[in-house]
Amino acid sequence: MTTLDATPTTLTGSADELAPPLTFRQMAWRRFRRHRMAMAGAITIILLFIYAFVGGLIYTTADANKTDTSQRLSPPSMEHPFGTDTVGRDVLARTIQGGRISLMIGLTAALLEIIIGVMIGAFAGFFGGFTDNVLMRFTEAMLIIPSLFLLIIMARLVGGNAFWIVIIFGLTSWMYVARIVRAQFLSLKENDYILAARSIGTPTREIIFRHILPNSMAPIVVAATLAVATAILSEAYISFLGMGVQPPTATWGNMLDGSYNYIESAPWLWIFPGLLILLTVLSINFVGDGLRDALDPRSRNV
């Protein structure tokens, strides 16, 4: 009599072979998590945003501008953890108010820069020929002018207002983004799926914004993160020179300007806003490095 073998059949193969393949987003997130400095930078940026925006619920603009000459140049204490400035204003409250303005200037200026750069680079790379020549010669002409010099001149003419500061940054910083996007479009527009889309009569606008631009997002995202850091630093430059947002409105840059004559006698006036600028810019650069590695489709570090 034949007996049946009741031993269950075991599946062979490792768990990685049985698991479904990772999507691009999952792979990018896994690579980003393994980049320790990028993760540290991301956490620091989140904490800085909490400091600036949630802290604004505790210290209002009125608190930041409240003067008390009897507390003039008081060192850090329990009452004033970051000390007070030359007219008795609380430095902690002013770094919170200045953080909101500096971060918003950085974000909005970077957004404007990316929009202008993407539009010019996309049209130059996609249409080529005369359009490419005109747009790229204009871009190169803007690159020839020293950006810091142009920034100072424009800030001198219309500075003092956060809105105009953002416009100035956006109009003087888009050139590198345009060249990056143009290179991406020149490469991608020759792919088979783009040629197929053209052959079936797909509108040009749809080809640019639906097919090519989404596949160019990796370098654009990296450029956007670095643009935020550059805008924050640029705001600090012109504010330190007295041509940025004007007091009593606080930014980290004009707080440094106000501490110029007290570097040794009251170091807390420049240590805290300077440290916040350093942490912000350094963290954003770490995040940019992490995103560059995570979004690189040629990376095999999964």
Determine the distance from the C-alpha atom of residue 54 to the mean position of all C-alpha atoms in its chain, rounded to a whole number. Answer: 20
Q: 1 falls in which pLDDT band (50, 70, 90)? A: very low
The C-alpha atoms of residue 160 and residue 246 are separated, in whole angstroms, by 5
pLDDT of residue 302: 52
User: Under a CB-based contact definition with an 8 Å cutoff, are residues 299 and 255 in contact?
Assistant: no
| Helix, strand, coil tally for the chain in percent (to 5) | 70, 0, 25
In angstroms, the CA 6 to CA 4 distance is 6
Identify the sign of the CA torsion 48, 51, 54, 60: negative
- SS in 3 state form for 41-58? HHHHHHHHHHHHHHHHHC
Q: What angle do CA 217, 171, 129 make, to 5 degrees?
A: 65
What are the tens digits of pLDDT across the range 54-79?
988 888 888 888 888 888 888 998 88
| Domain residue ranges of the chain, discontinuous segments joined by + | 24-57+89-294
CA 266, CA 273: separation in Å to the nearest integer? 13
10 Å CB burial of residue 291 (0-12, 13-18, 19+) is buried
Cα dihedral sign, 246-250-253-259: positive
What type of residue sits at position 186? Answer: L
Query: pLDDT by residue (tens digit) across 139-176?
Result: 988 888 777 777 778 777 776 678 888 888 888 889 98
Nearest to residue 164, comparing CAs of 233, 112, 226, 94?
Answer: 112
At 255, list the tokens. 């707080």
Q: Tell me the percentage of the chain whose pLDDT exceeds 70.
A: 90
Alpha-carbon dihedral sign for residues 193, 198, 200, 206:
positive
Query: pTM of the entire structure?
Result: 0.81
Quickly state the pLDDT bin for 2 (edges 50, 70, 90). Answer: very low
Which among 105, 104, 72, 86 is positioned nearest to 270, based on CA atoms?
86
Whether residue 301 is predicted with pLDDT greater than 90 in this model: the reply is no
Mean pLDDT for 112-120 is 92
Q: Which amino acid is at 182?
A: R
Least confident stretch, 86-100, 103-117, 141-155, 271-285:
141-155
pLDDT at 51: 92
Rounded to the nearest 10°, the torsion over CA 162, 163, 167, 168 is: -30
pLDDT number for residue 298: 53
Tell me which of 1.10.1040.10, 1.10.3720.10, 3.40.50.2020, 3.90.850.10 is the CATH number of domain 24-57+89-294: 1.10.3720.10
Tens-digit pLDDT profile for residues 254-266: 888 888 888 888 8
* Residue 295, C-beta contacts closer than 8 angstroms, at least 6 positions apart: 28, 217, 218, 221, 222
Round the average pLDDT of the chain to a whole number and report it.
Answer: 83
Which long-range contacts (C-beta less than 8 Å, at least 24 apart) are formed by 70-78? 73/262, 73/265, 73/266, 75/266, 75/268, 76/268
* Residue 119 clears pLDDT 50, i.e. is over it: yes
Q: What is the pLDDT of residues 6-45, one digit of tens each?
A: 444 444 555 445 556 777 677 888 888 888 899 999 999 9
The pLDDT, as a whole number, for residue 4 is: 47
Q: Are 244 and 251 in contact (CB under 8 A)?
A: yes
Residue given tokens 């768990």 in the structure block: 15
- Output the CA torsion sign for 275, 279, 281, 282: positive
8 A C-beta contact, residue 31 and residue 301: yes
pLDDT band at 297 (very low <50, low <70, confident <90, very high): low
Q: Compute φ and ψ for 210, nearest 5 degrees.
A: -110, -30
